[in-house]
């Protein structure tokens, strides 16, 4: 039995939605995700698919929206943004306990940690991965949401104000202890929201190296994990990317691992400059978005701590326990950035 999967229900759904599928199906949980659950699905003919569904429990309002994630990936299929093909969305929780969607399995490298990168990507491929990553982000931010049917994905004004309000609610609903620094950062950021430059664009919401699938020569084959995607300020994506992008000398690694510390990957400054040049964007207000990114990531990881503590991701992986201390350190970084 696979937690989160009703094998009979999902198999019946596959037979009705996925052309050529050959039961019986085999399901395997894919490690690495800290939000929605991801499964590799293989049929009797050797075809492989990917299924995504929310955590087993502890789902907060507005979070883990399968239909939203499915809609975004499907809409971007005809653009220069690399995404997997989609097969269908199931919104009936009676089938497997929660909504889910199915997409193509993209064969490639998910650079989650140093071990994977050391075994799969040499130094030129790491440099190429950073270059291709920037191209993918620029391509996303150049998409006109109206042209791909995503014009109603979110409101176009007041993005940062809404983000601050949303993640404050998430913190209030999931925090496991008092976190006064995060409250103070929220107050500071709310009082100093910069004016958004340019039109609202599609914002991924969690754009980072390990949310990509790469080829062995470092090209981005697919961008994953679109659950936080909305319309808004592209600089929020840039800020979060740089917060995740560790470099030598960093004393806090948000996910406990940081492949970008390895030789071949550029610095944060070089990454930011490459984005600014290719996107034609002014990064003079980037400090604010970095503060917001540290704060938002702290809120997200506090939610991960809370959900893991109640078994929402099943059992067997206790790496989440170290996130409690990381939440505090990220809050301190956010506070430092908010003062500058």
**DSSP designation for 176:** S
Q: At what angle do helices 323-339 and 180-190 cross, to 10 degrees?
A: 30
- Sketch the domain layout of the chain as residue ranges: 7-104, 114-339
55-77 average pLDDT score: 78
Nearest by Cα to 242 from 256, 224, 260, 227 = 260
CA angle at 324 for the pair 180 and 237, rounded to the nearest 5°: 80
Length of the chain: 340
**What average pLDDT does the chain have?**
92
**Cβ proximity of 26 and 39 under 8 Å:** no
Q: For residues 84 and 302, what is the distance between their CA atoms, to the nearest angstrom?
A: 30
Q: For residues 204 and 149, what is the distance between their CA atoms, to the nearest angstrom?
A: 16
Phi and psi based region of residue 202 (left: phi greater than 0; alpha: psi -120 to 50; beta: remaining):
beta
pLDDT tens track for 104-159: 999 999 999 999 999 999 999 999 999 999 999 999 999 999 999 999 999 999 99
Lowest mean per-residue pLDDT among 59-63, 236-240, 274-278:
59-63
Range 114-339: architecture per CATH: Alpha-Beta Complex (3.90)
**Cβ proximity of 170 and 303 under 8 Å:** yes
**Cβ proximity of 308 and 320 under 8 Å:** yes
pLDDT tens track for 243-253: 999 999 898 88
| Three-state secondary structure call for residue 241 | helix
For residue 300, count CB atoms less than 10 angstroms from its CB and return exposed for 0-12, middle for 13-18, buried for 19 or more: buried
- Give the CATH number of domain 7-104: 3.30.200.20
Q: How far from each other are the two terminal CA atoms of the chain, in whole angstroms?
A: 52
89-111 average pLDDT score: 96
| Phi, then psi, of 9 in degrees rounded to 5 | -65, -45
pLDDT tens track for 157-187: 999 999 999 999 999 998 889 999 999 999 9
pTM for this structure? Answer: 0.90
pLDDT band at 60 (very low <50, low <70, confident <90, very high): very low
Q: For residues 238 and 54, what is the distance between their CA atoms, to the nearest angstrom?
A: 26
């Amino acid at each position: 039995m696979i937690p989160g999967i009703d094998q009979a229900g999902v198999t019946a759904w596959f037979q009705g939605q996925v052309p050529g599928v050959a039961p019986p199906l085999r399901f395997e949980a894919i490690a690495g995700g800290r939000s929605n659950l991801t499964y590799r699905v293989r049929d009797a003919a050797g075809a492989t698919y990917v299924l995504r569904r929310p955590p087993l429990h502890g789902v907060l309002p507005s979070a883990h929206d399968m239909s939203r994630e499915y809609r975004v990936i499907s809409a971007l299929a005809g653009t220069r943004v690399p995404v997997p093909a989609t097969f269908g969305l199931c919104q009936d929780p009676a089938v497997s306990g929660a909504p889910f969607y199915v997409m193509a399995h993209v064969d490639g490298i998910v650079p989650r940690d140093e071990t994977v990168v050391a075994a799969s990507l040499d130094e030129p491929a790491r440099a190429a991965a950073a270059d291709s990553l920037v191209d993918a982000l620029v391509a996303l931010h150049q998409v006109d949401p109206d042209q791909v049917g995503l014009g109603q994905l979110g409101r176009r004004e007041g993005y940062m104000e809404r983000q601050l309000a949303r993640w404050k609610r998430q913190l209030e609903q999931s925090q496991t202890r008092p976190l006064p620094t995060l409250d103070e950062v929220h107050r500071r950021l709310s009082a100093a929201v910069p004016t958004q430059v340019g039109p609202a664009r599609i914002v991924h919401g969690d754009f980072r190296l390990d949310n990509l699938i790469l080829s062995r020569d470092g090209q981005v084959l697919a961008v994953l994990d679109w659950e936080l995607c909305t319309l808004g300020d592209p600089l929020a994506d840039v800020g979060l990317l740089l917060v995740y992008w560790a470099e030598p000398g960093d004393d806090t690694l948000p996910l406990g691992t940081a492949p970008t510390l390895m030789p071949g990957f550029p610095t944060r400054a070089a990454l930011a400059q490459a984005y600014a040049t290719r996107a034609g964007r002014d990064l003079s207000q980037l400090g604010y978005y970095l503060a917001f990114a540290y704060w938002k990531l702290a809120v997200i990881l506090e939610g991960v701590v809370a959900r893991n503590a109640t078994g929402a991701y099943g059992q067997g992986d206790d790496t989440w326990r170290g996130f409690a201390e990381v939440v505090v350190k990220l809050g301190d970084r956010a506070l430092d950035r908010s003062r500058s």
